[in-house]
Amino acid sequence: MIKTDDWMQKKIVKAKQKVVEKYEHGKTTERQWLQASVDSYDNSEYRVELFVLEGSPAKGLVIVNWGARWIKAIDLWGNQLYTWK
C-alpha cells in the first residue's frame, strides 16, 4: 500500500479520535488540539508533527513522522494506543 498524504491525513484523524475516546470515554471533546511541526532538513517531506490534546497534564499525544510514514497515538500515561505504519 502506498501511503499518500491523503492516507496520512485520514490516519491522523483516526489517531486523534483514539486519544479522545481513551480520555473522554466518548467520541467528542471540548479540548483543543495544540500542534507543533518541524521540517527536517528544511524539507516538508521529512516533517515531524506533534499534536497534543490540551490539559494539565496533557491528555494525549499524536506523533506523525511524514518521512517514515508512521503515526502513533499515545495516552495520558504514555501508553501507546495505536501505531499506523
Label residue 39 exposed, middle or buried (CB < 10 Å: 0-12, 13-18, 19+): middle
Confidence at residue 1, expressed as pLDDT on a 0 to 100 scale = 57
Question: What backbone phi and psi angles, to 5 degrees, belong to 83?
Answer: -130, 130
Confidence at residue 62, expressed as pLDDT on a 0 to 100 scale = 99
Helix (H) or strand (E) holding 33: strand 33-39
Confidence at residue 39, expressed as pLDDT on a 0 to 100 scale = 81
**pLDDT per residue over 12-70, tens digit each?**
999 999 999 999 999 999 999 999 998 888 887 889 999 999 999 999 999 999 999 99
Enumerate the domain spans of the chain.
5-84
The CA distances from residue 39 to 21, 55, 73, in Å, are: 29, 26, 20
Name residue, grid cell 503515526: 71
Residue 2 has pLDDT above 70, yes or no: no
Confidence at residue 40, expressed as pLDDT on a 0 to 100 scale = 80
The type of residue at 55 is: G
